[in-house]
A and B are shown apart, each in its own frame.
Chain A
């Protein structure tokens, strides 16, 4: 399963709730304001990478927010083509917002 999150974890419970119920084999994609969860050294980036099989940020959203060089090393980046491919690779997509 793919989870997309679009809210900053510092302001909203979406990511926290997602991490409480997601499966260890799930994939997480951080979009829009959720890219702040991927900051190097943050509690959220650490928790993310222990909760899911793989974690990505949507590159244009990270770049727009000045985050391009601030993404934790164990979190990948995808563009929209990659976003579409993640949706093809997973049967269900749950959007947390």
Chain B
């Protein structure tokens, strides 16, 4: 068994990256490996935006990640600095800035320290660039 830390940099609205990363994560879990944490950085924070409406027949990316992570007990962390700039807010940030929250349940907003910690714990680090 190998442990992985994954970084996702692309938004579902403009790149294939989130799809690639999710397919990789599913294959890793199926092969018996463990994913320490998935960190959403740069435009990747849009993976946690529950307001994105995909074309008919497609499941929202935020829900797909959330279900996958819940089933396999994987930490989904959205970079707070990247997220605020791009309008992805959890309840406490929404309250602070007097806006509506839109972060899908199952994702946490946190800092880059979470990524560095995941890298320290994992055997392999894989970036999915956009």
Which residues of A pack against B, CB within 8 Å?
4, 6, 31-32, 58, 60-61, 79-81, 83-85, 87-88, 91-93, 95-97
Majority secondary structure of chain B interface residues (helix, strand, loop or mixed) = mixed
CA distance A31 to B31 in the complex (A): 20
25 contacts between A and B (CB under 8 A): A4-B126, A6-B16, A6-B17, A32-B20, A61-B20, A79-B27, A80-B23, A80-B26, A83-B24, A83-B27, A84-B24, A84-B31, A84-B33, A87-B124, A88-B2, A91-B124, A92-B125, A93-B124, A93-B125, A95-B127, A95-B128, A96-B129, A97-B9, A97-B17, A97-B127
Contact A80 B27 (CB under 8 A): yes
The interface residues of chain A lying within 8 Å CB-to-CB of B127 are: 93, 95, 97
The interface residues of chain B lying within 8 Å CB-to-CB of A60 are: 23
Contact B129 A97 (CB under 8 A): yes
